[in-house]
Every structure is written in structure tokens, then in C-alpha cells.
Structure 1
């Protein structure tokens, strides 16, 4: 299967990048700068979107603040709204200039910048969130993630078990490996409780564009979709669109039930703090080099360390469906179990995974087709 690919996210306006760099100290949980005599170790977090987006970046920010509380000798500095361009390098350099010894580059498209920066700064541990590296790792670099498709499939069960039209809507940004795996897992999860459920796609070609999200949600609703979900960094717009139309929603990245308790079914939410703490400790105690985080680290349900967990249930999910979803989650904690366990077919009927086959994480993240039951096609670029 083809190697996992990196698709850069589009760069934001220069003014936004400048504002992000200026906020790198303003968002600190303690003093806005580190003096040469400071005893605290500076740990930096670079984010592509707003720390208050009710989604991906808010989950990162929440994890960074929990880290600051759990490790009193650590000073956290953050920079948000940093586009996937050389602005990432500038933000990281600004943090190093303030004494940063550990930097978390948390956006998918930050990968090449983070790896290059690590090579140029061997005294700083740089880790990337959601990337993948083949070959030799720099001694001070690593990637980390969670098997996102596992909890996403549970959200698919909630959608499939509550839809009245049998049509589910999926708003996504780019056809990268993570997204394809999540779309397929969502549909396979829905099929577990509703074999006739279909997932309709609209892509926005942007990780957080409220206008495009609103248009995508409207297009899906006009096709009869009555449950919406998304693979976007920010999810407020999609939730609001579902609420306005009286539809249901499955979240991703962050538990946003408070935005619409009745329409919210469930979702996936990142609990990054334990991972951030473990990585920071390994960097500070000298065990990072050659350790599990100096590689492609992935948390899973089976290992009971998946940083992406099942979000809370909304009031519209009946108790029997909640029980089915929880049972499915427990099943995913067992060996030789996967939502992708074969037989699984692509849209065109070709066999993706044969009967009884349990694909590896690498296989799943190399999938380049949509599974049978997904309606729509992947953009060519």
C-alpha cells in the first residue's frame, strides 16, 4: 500500500501569523517571559488554530494547562493561530529564545518544519502531533498520536443508531490518511447497528473555515442527512448548523456537548495531558533518546493508552444504544479486534481486507479508498 503522505494545510494571513507569534508569551500560564535566572523548564506548544475553537486546538490548549498544573517546575508557553508555513519555525525559535527545552508542534502540516527544526537544535526535544516518520529519527525528535478511528467508529454507531433517514453527513478538510481512515471507520461503525446507513461527504479544503463548514452542512442537510459529523479543527459551526435544522451531531476532537445537549449524540475527545506529561518527563530526565516517544508512538484502546476517548452522551442517545457502544469499546480493547476486521470492501466492490483479517495500524493509515456505504469521492488534489 502507498506510504502515508503529508498534506500541508493552507497558510493563513501573515497578520494572523504575526499575532500568533506575539501571543506566544501572552498565553503563558505563568510569567510572560523566562529570565535567565528562572528555575522552571520552559515547554512550548504551537497550534494552528484558536485555543478556544471547541475542537482540536482547544483540546491541545487544555492539555498544556493540565501539564503546567501537574508539573510545577514547568512553565508552559503557547502560540496559537500559527499557519503551516515558515511561521512555525519562527514560533519555535521564539520559544527557544525564551529558554524552551521541549516543544510540541501540534498540527499535521507542521511535520517538515518540526523535524528540520529538531535537527538544527539538538539540545531541544521537538515532538510532532499526528505525523509519521519512516527511517531514522533524529535523537531529539518524535511523533505521537492515538488510533483515532477507534473512537470515531463508536461515534458512527451513535449516528447509525439514531438516524431516521439512514443518511449521515461527514464534513472533512483534506483527503489525508487520517481522514480517510476516520471516514471509513465512521461508516463501518454505523453499519454495525444499521446496515443500511450511508455516509455522505463534503470537503472544505480547509481545517477551519466557518463559512465553508456552514455551506457544507447545508448541502448535506438538503440531501436528507439528519446526523452530521466532521473532521475539522473547529466544530462550532457544524454543531450550530445541525441545531438550527433540528438535526443531530457527532463531535470530534473535543467534547462540545454544552453547545447543544439535545442534538449532541457523542463524539471523540482528546485527553492529551498524560501524553504531554510523559513526553516532558522523558525529555527532562534524559530518557527521551531511544525511548518510545523518539519514534512513531500511537496510543490504542487495546493498550489502554489511547489519548482519544469516547465523549459524553447527549440526551438523545437511548440507554440500549449507549450499552452497545460501550460494549463495542470494550471489544476494541481485546487483541485481534478492529472495526476494520475483514471482510471490508471499497466503494467499487474490491476487497480491502479479507475475511478474518485484522489490519495493522500502518495498513489502516495507508487506505486510499472509501468503503462501501460511503457516498462521494475523494478530491484528486
Structure 2
């Protein structure tokens, strides 16, 4: 048996392991430092969703007096409960980041109830006042960075045809598609965005097929909202198209094709949360922010981005940073011609109507179902 490949959750499948865990969880060394656990649904080096969180964990490791334990490829099942119990009992973790969206209910909620003195922070904005108070939810307005990517894409496209490979037509994904398109049309009013939904968060074969299909239809700039953009980025670059990334900076995968991208900035947020916990400061149960709050960021511009595009994008970014810019400002029509935001109406980032978004804006070619 390869003991090096045994995960923490497997160690907890026997009563002996549980006894060992309770013993180690109280050892003196643990009391001298704070242990933080990170759990990922996929690989830490996926150039996507999981890598973004892993980069945040790497920043936490640099803090004095902090120990970080991690486990990757943990399914959104009771497997995450076993991993949490292991990190608590074997490693003495007192702050846990189960990062995948599907971990929260029922798994994180259940574990927060079981360990009321520990802290659980979950990515996705799902916490409600009915949930345990030692659980919290955080998320970012990454549509702001998608909007900036759209501006750059609008200047960079030669065909006027942009492409978006998306997982599912849920409000957060639609918000990103719409923000990207509105940004692009700010720069190029005739630009269109064609969307292909793959049906799930990680489907590399379908993502490759969607990328090729879009390029075959004349799209010359692509972006995405899937867990692992690597497939889209590499395939698009291979076909001679330009790309805007998502989750992390994918420019190493396609240095000549990469324009910019919408990134999570967990490297700033996670150390902040850990410092708050160590200092005994409460973290709000529902924590959100955008570019101004440094929860999201924009990838550095690639060599093909023009000076005009850079200036326009930087000007809008500065307005986001000062809190003076609204993406969803009426009048806005959907792609069927119906007015969805009336003239004179601003839907700021905290507007509950944006949480229910079920439409694609004018300029998007595609359907939400």
C-alpha cells in the first residue's frame, strides 16, 4: 500500500484513527500556532478555480505562527466532512476554508454545528442567518474585472465577434457574460458575444469543442466561466485567437494570445481573514467586495493590447476603485429586445435583483436554457 497517497479523510474511517486524532489535536505544539485548513474540489495547479484558492493558501503560509494543511480533489459529498474532521482532529485546525461551492450545504453547515468553537469560511455567498454563526460566506464582484476584460476585448477584436465558453446559465455566470459584453460594447458598439454552455463546471472535451466551434464561426477573442480555463486558453491560442482569462493569470499558457483576465485575489483576502481570527476580531458572516476591496483583480495586459485599450480600461478601473462606477445602468435591454433595466435605474453590486439575473443582454448571441 502506498501510504503517501492516503488522504486525511481515509485516516478517519477507523476508530483507531479517531482516537489518534483526538490525541494529536491537543498536543502542545498545536497550541503554539494557528492551523488553517484549505480544501479543494480539484487540483491545486489547474490554472483555474482551485489554483486561485491555492495561491491564497500560499500567501497564508508566509504569515508567522501559522500552519497550513491542504487537501485537493475532495468531492462535494460527505468526503469533505471526513476531510474537515481529519483536519480538526489530526492537525488541530481551528479555521477552515472548504472552497468549493457545493461543499456548503449540507456539509459545511453540518460541520460548523458539530464544531461550534471553530471557524468555517466558505466561498460563494451562501450563508444565511439560519446557518451557524461560526460559519461565514465570502465572494467577489468579479464581473467588474470581466467588464474590464470586455473593454480590452472590444478594442482587440478584428471580426467584432467575441466568444464565451460557460458552464451553466446561473445568475453569477450570466452576470459575467453580460458584464463582459457591456464592457466590449463600450469600446466597440457593434461587438457581439456568442455563448456556448457546456452544462457543467469541468468538462474539458466539451470546452475544447465549444472553443473550436466559436472560432469556426469567426470569433477571434474568447473568455470563459468554467473551473479550469486551461483547455479554452490553449485551444484558442493554438487556433490563432486571442483570449481573456478567468480565475488566475493564464498568460504562461499562451503568452502571445493573452490580452488580460478577471482574477480572484484570494492572496490578499485570506491573510486578512487569518489575521482577523488570530486577533480575535469577528469576520462578517456575509463578506463581499470587488476591485476596490481587493477581492478581485485584473490580469496584466498582454503585448497585443493597444495603448488606447489600456488607457480606456485603466480609466474605468480607477472609477471602480473609487466606487464611482456602475456596470448595470439603464437603459439595458436583453437579447430579445425587452427592457430589463429601465433608463435612470442603476443596479449597484449589492442590488438583490442582480442576484436573480436570468437574462442575457443585447449583443449576446445565445440562450439561457
TM-score by length of 2: 0.89
Work out which of the residue numbers 36, 39, 45 in structure 2 matches 1:43.
36
1:201 aligns with: 195
CA displacement 1:179-230 (0-9 Å, x = unmatched):
1110110111111001111111112222222212111111111211111111
Within the alignment, does 1:178 sit opposite 2:172 as a pair?
yes
In structure 2, what is the Cα distance between the partners aligned to 1:53 and 1:377?
28
Alignment of 1:1-381 (within 5 A): 21=9, 36-38=27-29, 39-69=32-62, 71-97=63-89, 98-112=91-105, 113-288=107-282, 293-301=283-291, 304-335=292-323, 337-360=325-348, 361=350, 362-379=352-369
Aligned equivalents of 1:18 and 1:178: distance in 2?
36
1:100-136 superposed Cα distances (whole Å, 9 cap, x missing partner) = 1000111112221212221221011001112233334
Q: How many residues are treated as equivalent by the alignment? A: 348
Distance in 2 (alpha carbons) for counterparts of 1:296 and 1:314: 35
Give how far 1:21 is off. Answer: 4.5
Tell me the distance in 2 between the aligned counterparts of 1:193 and 1:318. Answer: 12
Return closer, same or farther for 1:96/1:221 CA change in 2, 3 Å cut-off.
same
Q: Report the Cα offset of residue 18 of structure 1.
A: 7.3
Question: Any conservation in 2 of the 1:139–1:294 contact (CA below 8 Å)?
Answer: no
Unaligned runs of 5+ in 2: 13-23
CA distances 1:266-311 after superposition (whole Å, capped 9, x unpaired) = 00122212311222233233322xxxx332211123xx21311010
SS at match of 1:44: strand
Do the aligned partners of 2:48 and 2:229 also contact (CA within 8 Å) in 1?
Answer: yes
- What's the counterpart of residue 29 of structure 1? none
The offset of 1:35, in angstroms, is: 7.3
* SS of alignment partner, residue 273 of structure 1: helix
Task: Give, in whole Å, the separation in 1 of the partners of 2:150 and 2:211.
Answer: 17
Match of 2:19 in 1: none
Indicate the RMSD between aligned Cα atoms, in angstroms.
Answer: 2.1
Structure-1-length-normalised TM-score = 0.86
Give the number of the structure whose alpha-carbon radius of gyration is greater: 2
SS of match in other structure, 1:178 = helix
**Range with bigger deviation, 205-214 or 247-256:** 205-214
After the TM superposition, which of the residue ranges 43-52 and 137-146 deviates more from structure 2?
A: 137-146
The answer to whether the 8 A contact 1:54-1:235 is kept is yes
CA distances 1:231-289 after superposition (whole Å, capped 9, x unpaired): 0121111111111110000001101111111100000122212311222233233322x
